[in-house]
Structure 1
């Protein structure tokens, strides 16, 4: 007698949701906090259902936390020789360009590539 378990559903391949997850980081420029909350919710809900969502979601959350910490450290750095302004410009440019590049990578089925990111998760 053979028992077949049907509790584990097959994961779906949904590159469009991965692209949307990467592009949802740009909500930071509109709402101020949506760029962290929306990808976090999508990752927590879909990480077991979509192929690659766990890897992409962890990369996005690590990237958002790292950019937040750099920006937070930059504010007092403004008073020290004005170097904080350079790092705030870096955060602004990188937070705009890198999610778009990774959205294109996700649409092609490639792994995300977030450079200068601290691995928290």
Structure 2
């Protein structure tokens, strides 16, 4: 038995690479800054001044929302998350005051857990944004759309 000759090109064609079209490096960097600016704002103003945590994402989102779609998305996400966390903190303080300080036994552990979750989720979001992934924070009120 003989092997029939191949019909077609004798040289193998190079494989095609999938082209990933996503945000550019500058967009990813600004999205990273949108998330990390919440950390910087909290460090500068202190964790008790709630406005510092969402002031940075607000400024970056307002400056870059029209020119960079990825920064627009991630800036809104960071802003919504930090506003949600600020609302939670204000609610915990109000509950503590209404209960004449006795509620602190419940609100302090909740506040501590929320603070750790805020830190971890902000860092995860910054890493994902730097990779070009649209990150969505869990348990976030979508106030700005």
Larger-Rg structure: 2
After superposition, the Cα gap between the structure-2 partners of 1:31 and 1:81, relative to the gap in structure 1 and judged at 3 Å, is closer
After superposition, the Cα gap between the structure-2 partners of 1:81 and 1:46, relative to the gap in structure 1 and judged at 3 Å, is closer
Residue 73 (structure 1) aligned with residue 87 (structure 2): no
Structure 2 residue aligned with 1:40: 58
After superposition, the Cα gap between the structure-2 partners of 1:80 and 1:39, relative to the gap in structure 1 and judged at 3 Å, is same
Q: Which runs of 5+ in 1 are unaligned?
A: 1-11
Q: TM-score, normalised by structure 2?
A: 0.69
What are the Cα deviations for residues 80-101 of structure 1, in whole angstroms up to 9, with x where unaligned? 3721112211221122111110
Residue 22 (structure 1) aligned with residue 35 (structure 2): yes
* Shift of residue 30, structure 1, vs aligned partner: 2.6
CA RMSD of aligned residues (A): 1.7
Distance 2:142 2:84 in 1: 9
- Is the 8 Å Cα contact of residues 16 and 107 (structure 1) preserved in structure 2? yes
- Is the 8 Å Cα contact of residues 76 and 84 (structure 1) preserved in structure 2? no
Q: TM-score, normalised by structure 1?
A: 0.81
Distance 2:59 2:124 in 1: 21
* Shift of residue 16, structure 1, vs aligned partner: 1.0
Structure 1 residue ranges (4+ consecutive) displaced by more than 4 angstroms after TM superposition: none
Distance 2:95 2:113 in 1: 13
- Structure 2 matches for 1:1-121, cutoff 5 A? 13=24, 14-27=27-40, 28-32=42-46, 33-78=51-96, 79-80=102-103, 82-121=105-144
* Shift of residue 34, structure 1, vs aligned partner: 3.1
SS at match of 2:93: helix
Q: Which runs of 5+ in 2 are unaligned?
A: 1-22, 97-101
